Amino acid sequence: MITKQDIVDKILVGHMEQPTATAEAFAPSNIALCKYWGKRDVELNLPVTSSLSISLGKLGSRCRLSFCNERDQVILNGEELANDSTFVVRLSQYLDLFRKEQHSRYRIETENTIPTAAGFASSASGFASIVIALNKLHGWNLPDQKLSILARLGSGSASRSLWQGFVEWHVGEDDEQGMDSFAEPLQASTWPELKIGLLVLEAGEKEIGSRAAMHRTVETSQLYKSWPEKVNQDMAKLKQAIATKDFDHLGATAESNALTMHATMMAAQPPVLYWLPQSVTTMKKVWQCRHEGLPLYFTMDAGPNIKLLFLEKDKSTIINKFPSLVIA
Amino acid sequence: MITKQDIVDKILVGHMEQPTATAEAFAPSNIALCKYWGKRDVELNLPVTSSLSISLGKLGSRCRLSFCNERDQVILNGEELANDSTFVVRLSQYLDLFRKEQHSRYRIETENTIPTAAGFASSASGFASIVIALNKLHGWNLPDQKLSILARLGSGSASRSLWQGFVEWHVGEDDEQGMDSFAEPLQASTWPELKIGLLVLEAGEKEIGSRAAMHRTVETSQLYKSWPEKVNQDMAKLKQAIATKDFDHLGATAESNALTMHATMMAAQPPVLYWLPQSVTTMKKVWQCRHEGLPLYFTMDAGPNIKLLFLEKDKSTIINKFPSLVIA
């Protein structure tokens, strides 16, 4: 089996180390309009389908990286984390892939520029910012596609967090090494009027993590078999909607894609239901708004929170209806 | 195109009219453990898949039928319905299929033995009881399979309401006339310890009727493509669970089947979501009960209400936890 280390070694070969003392980077969070749901290779985070996201501007992760001795140090939002915390263990294992010498260690200062309670996933922007900083710190000078692959090895959706705007993560055809499964910006696509807002319905711990939920869905959900075809259709629809700036087409497609992802989970055995009672209330409220003529759609990730999609022109109306909205 | 009338004529040919003055019948409601969801022929109510139900004993519909003149008279639960009410119009259209002479009309007194507010579907037991009564009134002496087909022409799930216990509705292979798409009791299967209870979450009008929801799902839901294979698996599992009286196997299969049906709806465009916030609360409460060791499962039909599946031995525990439960 090909390991993460094999891929990192392959990517770094020929790229001279030209280390600096310290490196800084920022990467935005991203919200998938067409979801990444299911891996065809768990070790390499190779997806079953392509996916498409929009990045969240200034909301994301900042990272300052330097070398240090003895042990990795992780400072998150100004506080040093315990060495045995889940986050530090996962991060250290990832950094093992890049240590120039066995004994070299990293000091990572990272900050999320999103209110933590806002519930935007930070692993995507976190891993992406670390990869950008690693590239600078070591002086590898890697091209973006390679950085995207490295970010993917940390967290699948991190592959999409290296850019602003619309980003497509290509499924790729290389099942052995996944060297063609990277993200890149959708060409000639800007849409400043498109807005994303987040409604936080719960800050608590999820009953099942998204990796486990994804795995269970792929393994046990009868409906998952229809998911790849759904994605193929939605990717084409979204690209067309973006190209023509057709907001209703974009919103309806993104909403349907998210509902379908959640539907595949509910059909898993045992079922995975991230929804809270308020998730249902909120979805119905969005539909009611739309029924009344307001162009408003939602998307949801592997959790109960709901992200609203709307246009700049309707911002104040929507804030009125959803006062707790956090707008990206 | 083959019409309902063609099928009725085919079934009645050779069956002499030997009318009596009045005929009475009762048919039980039924709850599908493996759902009927999707038609391959809308005119003849031919299903995409087989389905399997359990009948609800004394809960169902009683019907007293006689001939009368001028116009059909429908008395529901003791009150005569207006001639232009949806129910009377639908029933009269159905009865048009059976009138011996153009001008003959029926008087139908029907009563539901379920508290109306309990939300058990009454169209299945209603049409089934009318078919049994029609057979007696006209003196046709039709075999059960033919009666099941006639009930099917009124409402798909009515085909399963002619018997108590477990009933299988065969999908059949005759796509033109559907003469092999009838229900019959599952052989040698009784399970008196198996109980069904209903939690009424809303007595209000549904936003979309189940016929329209089914149609929209078949036409627009990408996930519906995986539904027939799910049903094939669940039918086999349910039959095995019934044969071996394996309650957990039965409950888990029925619950998964219902969730998967609702999942196919959510992926329709526009989405169909029958759930209320309390539906989510109730599902999670059922899962919590199970987590605590109580063998309890649910099923849901095209509406927000939840039906609980449990064993007689746990009845008092479950009534304690769900005080509003209506037990069949």
What is the residue type of B249?
A: H
pLDDT at A203 (0 to 100): 57
Helices (DSSP H) in chain A: which residue ranges? 4-12, 86-95, 123-138, 144-154, 210-220, 227-244, 247-266, 277-291, 315-321
Mean pLDDT of successive 10-residue segments in chain B (328 residues)?
96 92 96 98 97 95 93 93 91 94 87 74 91 97 98 97 98 97 91 94 77 96 98 98 97 98 97 95 97 98 94 98 92
Predicted TM-score (pTM) of the model is 0.94
Query: What is the sign of the dihedral through the CA atoms of A90, A93, A98 and A103?
Result: positive
Instruction: Specify the domain boundaries for CATH 3.30.230.10 within chain A.
Output: 4-185
Report, as an integer, the average pLDDT of A57-83.
Answer: 93
Residue A119 has pLDDT above 70, yes or no: no
pLDDT at A189 (0 to 100): 79
pLDDT at B82 (0 to 100): 94
Q: Which residues of A touch B267 (CB under 8 A)?
A: 223, 230, 256, 259-260, 263
Q: Which strands form B194-199's sheet, in the order they lie side by side?
A: B297-299, B306-311, B194-199, B326-327
What is the residue type of A311?
A: L
- The answer to whether the Cβ–Cβ distance between B277 and A277 falls below 8 Å is yes
Q: List own/partner pairs for A205-211 with CB under 8 A and 24 or more apart.
A: A206/A274, A206/A302, A206/A303, A208/A272, A210/A301, A210/A302, A210/A303
- The answer to whether the Cβ–Cβ distance between A260 and B283 falls below 8 Å is no
In sequence order, the 6+-apart residues with CB closer than 8 A to the CB of B39 are B45, B46, B47, B48, B156, B214, B215, B218
Cβ of A73 under 8 Å from any chain B Cβ?
A: no
Question: Which candidate, B28, B53, B130, places its Cα nearest to that of B87?
Answer: B130
The CATH topology of domain A194-327 is Alpha-Beta Plaits (3.30.70)
CA dist list (Å): A282 to A276, A302, B268: 10, 16, 19
Tokens of A130: 């670390």
CA dist list (Å): A256 to A262, A305, B88: 10, 16, 37
Residue A113 has pLDDT above 90, yes or no: no
From the list B222, B271, B273, the residue facing A230 with the nearest CB is: B222
pLDDT at B189 (0 to 100): 78
In terms of pLDDT, which residue wins out, A115 or B44? B44
- The answer to whether the Cβ–Cβ distance between A229 and B252 falls below 8 Å is no
CATH number for the domain whose boundaries are A4-185: 3.30.230.10
Q: Which residues of A touch B223 (CB under 8 A)?
A: 223, 226-227, 230, 260, 263-264, 267
Q: At what angle do helices A144-154 and A4-12 cross, to 10 degrees?
A: 160
**Burial bucket for residue B204 (CB in 10 Å: 0-12, 13-18, 19+):** exposed
Residue range A148-185, pLDDT digits in tens: 999 999 999 999 999 999 999 999 999 999 999 999 99
CA distance, residue A299 to nearest chain B CA (Å): 13
SS3 at position A282: helix
Question: Which candidate, B239, B231, B307, places its Cα nearest to that of B51?
Answer: B231
CA distance, residue B235 to nearest chain A CA (Å): 14
Q: Which residues of B touch A208 (CB under 8 A)?
A: none
Cβ of A208 under 8 Å from any chain B Cβ?
A: no
Q: At what angle do helices B247-266 and B227-243 cross, to 10 degrees?
A: 160
CA distance, residue B214 to nearest chain A CA (Å): 16
- The answer to whether the Cβ–Cβ distance between A256 and B269 falls below 8 Å is yes
The chain B residue lying nearest A253, using CA atoms, is: B269
- The answer to whether the Cβ–Cβ distance between B277 and A281 falls below 8 Å is yes
The residue among A266, A269, A288, A290 with the most chain B CBs within 10 A of its CB, best to mutate, is A266
Tokens of A209: 């993590």
- Name the β-bridge partners of A55: A30
DSSP B32: E
In sequence order, the 6+-apart residues with CB closer than 8 A to the CB of A214 are A37, A38, A39, A302
Token look-up 């086999």 returns: B236
Q: Which residues of A touch B281 (CB under 8 A)?
A: 277
Residue range A215-251, pLDDT digits in tens: 999 999 999 999 999 999 999 999 999 999 999 999 9
ipTM for this model: 0.92
Q: Which residues of A touch B276 (CB under 8 A)?
A: 280
- Name the β-bridge partners of B108: B65, B74
**Which residues between 81 and 100 in chain B have a beta carbon less than 8 angstroms from any beta carbon of chain A?**
none
The residue among A259, A264, A279, A287 with the most chain B CBs within 10 A of its CB, best to mutate, is A259
CB B11 within 8 A of CB B144: no
Question: Which candidate, B304, B202, B194, places its Cα nearest to that of B254?
Answer: B194
- Angular region, B327: left φ>0, alpha ψ -120 to 50, beta rest: beta
Q: Which residues of A touch B280 (CB under 8 A)?
A: 273, 275-277, 279-280
Q: Which of A92-106, A295-309, B30-44 has the lowest mean pLDDT?
A: A92-106
Instruction: Specify the domain boundaries for CATH 3.30.70.890 within chain A.
Output: 194-327
Neighbour count for residue B321 (Cβ, 10 Å): 17
Cβ of A284 under 8 Å from any chain B Cβ?
A: yes
Neighbour count for residue B85 (Cβ, 10 Å): 12
pLDDT at B116 (0 to 100): 64
Query: What is the sign of the dihedral through the CA atoms of A78, A80, A84 and A89?
Result: positive
pLDDT at B114 (0 to 100): 78
SS3 at position B192: coil
Cβ of B267 under 8 Å from any chain A Cβ?
A: yes
Question: What percent of chain A stands above pLDDT 90?
Answer: 86
Residue A102 has pLDDT above 70, yes or no: no
